[in-house]
Chains A and B, each alone.
Chain A
């Protein structure tokens, strides 16, 4: 029934855009041979290592792949609160 309404009144969520977006995400992980879970582990490990040197905001911490043509990059955005005093380690 919803389908019928959608067809008659037109809609803004063309399913091909959903398909493209889902494909993009899944291919990023496929191409890097890294599952979303593995990426999460990588992120946690990064937080652990970097926290030894810097006081970082792990809520704002983002790790993701970016793809530009043929090149892939791992992009991490790490907000820093303040420098940790090395002597206290």
Chain B
């Protein structure tokens, strides 16, 4: 029996889908049998981040409504031995499935897979309720910004209300140089405010844009800093104790300091 993990955040644009894609690919790389569910019905995106958009035939709603068998609808990712995607429907909306249906579907998938990762839509309405319904565990993604942390706090409260206890936190897009200057909240600030366990810290990394352009999760790239952070997260999810990345200032050296002083980015 596998484990179902929902990846959520409340606020949009903080990296839920990228996180889902990378943790999924990372777990598959590590030999786990993994299924990803895109629960963002109407705003399908996990397929393009994974680079699987051209292979969709059936979707989540087709399976729930009985038009397609789960096995037929699952897209196999050819780059990994054991990675599958169940895409969201694009022409329907969140009301096309109910939390009970999601619970049944995820339950069925857990019999087949070691990990079922559910990419939750932004917001706190039915899409959220659907996505969390079948999950055993929740991961909250937040960036070090007031708006994101506020929404994360709200989501933590709503998860509690849905009886999903003890979620863990991924801090995304942290910029060590700004933290050092005191211009960005650091990890401890966020953990203290949210009173939640830390699962991982992902540095802001331009390579994520490149990897999304190509449809190849960053976790596949041994050079990417974000990829390394995602690999560590997958190992933690598999029960290993992995120390958190030492986040060093990327603008070291005289030129770096000079550029920073003059406000030049880059």
Taking Cβ atoms with an 8 Å cutoff, the residues of A that contact B are 3-4, 7-8, 14-17, 19-20, 22-24, 26-27, 30-31, 69-70
Known: A19-B146, A23-B150, A69-B195. 19 other contacts (CB 8 A): A3-B263, A4-B263, A7-B261, A7-B263, A8-B261, A15-B183, A16-B179, A16-B185, A16-B189, A17-B182, A19-B145, A19-B185, A20-B185, A23-B146, A23-B149, A27-B150, A27-B153, A30-B150, A30-B154
A14 to B189, CA, bound (A): 13
Between-chain CB contacts (< 8 Å), 28 pairs = A3-B263, A7-B260, A7-B261, A7-B263, A8-B261, A14-B182, A14-B183, A15-B182, A16-B179, A16-B183, A16-B185, A16-B186, A16-B189, A19-B145, A19-B146, A20-B193, A23-B146, A24-B193, A26-B146, A27-B150, A27-B153, A27-B193, A30-B153, A30-B154, A31-B153, A31-B157, A69-B195, A70-B195
User: Which residues 212-266 of B have a CB within 8 angstroms of A?
Assistant: 260-263
Kindly report which residue of chain B lies nearest to residue A7, judged by CB atoms. Answer: B261
A-contact 0/1 string along B150-192, CB 8 Å cutoff: 1001100100000000000000000000010111111001000
Contact B181 A14 (CB under 8 A): yes
Residue of A nearest to B145 (CB): A19
B134-153 interface code vs A (CB 8 A; 1 in, 0 out):
00000000000110011001
Chain B residues within an 8 Å CB radius of A23: 146, 149-150, 193
A26 & B183 in contact (Cβ 8 Å cutoff): no
Interface 1/0 per residue, B79-90 and A, CB below 8 Å = 000000000000
- On chain B, the residues within 8 Å of A31 by CB distance are 153, 157
State how many angstroms separate the Cβ of B130 from the closest Cβ of chain A: 23
Complex contacts, A7 vs chain B, CB 8 Å: 260-261, 263
Q: Name which residue of chain B comes closest to A14, CB basis.
A: B182
Report the minimum CB–CB distance from A32 to chain B (whole Å). Answer: 11
Q: Which residues of B contact A30 (CB under 8 A)?
A: 150, 153-154
Q: Which residues of B contact A14 (CB under 8 A)?
A: 181-183
Residues of A within 8 A of B189 (CB): 16, 20
A8 to B182 alpha-carbon distance, docked (Å): 14
Residues of A near B184 (CB, < 8 A) are: 16
CB distance from A27 to the nearest CB of B (A): 5
Per the bound structure, the CA–CA distance linking A13 and B242 in Å amounts to 35
Contact partner, B262, options A4, A17, A19, Cβ 8 Å = A4
- Among B150, B179, B260, residue most surrounded by chain A Cβ atoms (within 10 Å): B150
Cβ–Cβ < 8 Å partners of B183 in chain A: 14-16
